[in-house]
Structure 1
Amino acid sequence: MKTNETGTHTTAAAAPLNAPRTQDAFTTAKNCVKIYGALGTAALLAVIVVAGTGHTVNTFMWVRAVLLPVVAVLIHRVTVSAARGSRRSFERVSTLAVIMPIAIIGVDLIPGVCPPWYAVMQAVCVLPVIGVAFITRGSALRAAFPKGR
């Protein structure tokens, strides 16, 4: 299998990548990432409103609330690259989609890190990413990016 300078497949291995089922899976994954970004932005706005009404918002909450929408943009770019055939991008999205929910929810469960309402909001925000984890492990994308020998 050869790859050109853009990271897309140039041999017969690209056939599964162009299959409608594969592109549908990538479309769904990209939409999940967009939803994650929208929910992350809503969470940021919630933190702004809570802080604006005089309630306590700690540094952790500010940093997390700002970073997660930014991360959504980056993950979307990597997902688009994967949809164009980049194995490396596909592997990154696939890995991040598993690690992020565990890390986000795990850290929020540490007592005293954040209030319960914030932990619940972050868990809801990361649900679409869990969807991406399942999509990237589905048969359509496994066929497009078979494991190397």
Structure 2
Amino acid sequence: MTKKTNTQPGALKALASARLSITLYGALSGAALLAVIAVAATGHSVNTFMWVRAVLLPVIAYVLLRITTAAADGSRRAFERMSTLAVIMPIAIIGVDLIPGVCPPWYAAAQALCMLPVIRVAFLTRGAALRTAFPKTG
């Protein structure tokens, strides 16, 4: 994205929406972590996979928010990373959760809910405003 692109209203609006979606993803991931803590505190079974995933996803939300902010500041590389992660993350998260026995259905549903804002980012990054703001090079 060039300096001129920073003034494109459509791109600015799309990136603001992406930032809001990533913030929502972070909040939902934090809520999923709290749910795992609550389930464990009440004596129910919580496996290592659930703990690791529940802790890592809010951290990833922070990293993704930083990448999105860099894209809004004009970094094409950050935009490409954000765009790629927004496609790969939901497929990987939901795909792994669908493996029988990996996690209970309530946890898989919570993780799928967390991915909805990320899916929105995947669509936003492929919209006309951001494709124009970050044209393919090469």
TM more than 0.5? yes
Instruction: Measure, in 2, the Cα distance between the counterparts of 1:17 and 1:132.
Output: 18
Counterpart of 1:26 (choices 11, 15, 23) is 15
Tell me what 2:124 maps to.
135
Instruction: Measure, in 2, the Cα distance between the counterparts of 1:69 and 1:88.
Output: 22
Tell me what 1:101 maps to.
90
Structure 1 gap ranges (5+): 1-8
| 1:47-126 aligned within 5 A | 47-126=36-115
Tell me what 2:29 maps to.
40
> 1:18 Cα shift?
1.7
Whether contact under 8 Å (1:82, 1:89) holds in the other structure is: yes
Q: State the secondary structure of the residue aligned to 2:101.
A: coil
Instruction: Measure, in 2, the Cα distance between the counterparts of 1:78 and 1:96.
Output: 10
Q: Quick one: which amino acid aligns to residue 141 of structure 1?
A: L
Instruction: Measure, in 1, the Cα distance between the counterparts of 2:70 and 2:84.
Output: 15
Whether contact under 8 Å (2:21, 2:118) holds in the other structure is: yes
Q: Which of structures 1 and 2 has the bigger CA Rg? A: 1
Whether contact under 8 Å (1:14, 1:144) holds in the other structure is: no
Moved over 4 A (4+): none
* Deviation by residue 1:77-105 (Cα, 9 ceiling, x = unmatched): 00000011101000000000000000000
Matched, 1:145 2:134: yes
Tell me what 1:4 maps to.
none
- After TM superposition, the score normalised by the length of structure 1 is 0.90
Matched positions, count: 138
> 1:17 Cα shift?
2.9
- Determine which structure has greater relative contact order: mean sequence separation of CA pairs < 8 Å that are 6+ residues apart, divided by chain length: 2
Structure 2 gap ranges (5+): none
Instruction: Measure, in 2, the Cα distance between the counterparts of 1:18 and 1:40.
Output: 32
> 1:58 Cα shift?
0.1
Whether contact under 8 Å (1:40, 1:68) holds in the other structure is: yes
Q: State the secondary structure of the residue aligned to 1:14.
A: coil
Instruction: Measure, in 2, the Cα distance between the counterparts of 1:127 and 1:115.
Output: 19
Instruction: Measure, in 2, the Cα distance between the counterparts of 1:28 and 1:64.
Output: 25
Alpha carbon RMSD of aligned pairs, Å? 0.9
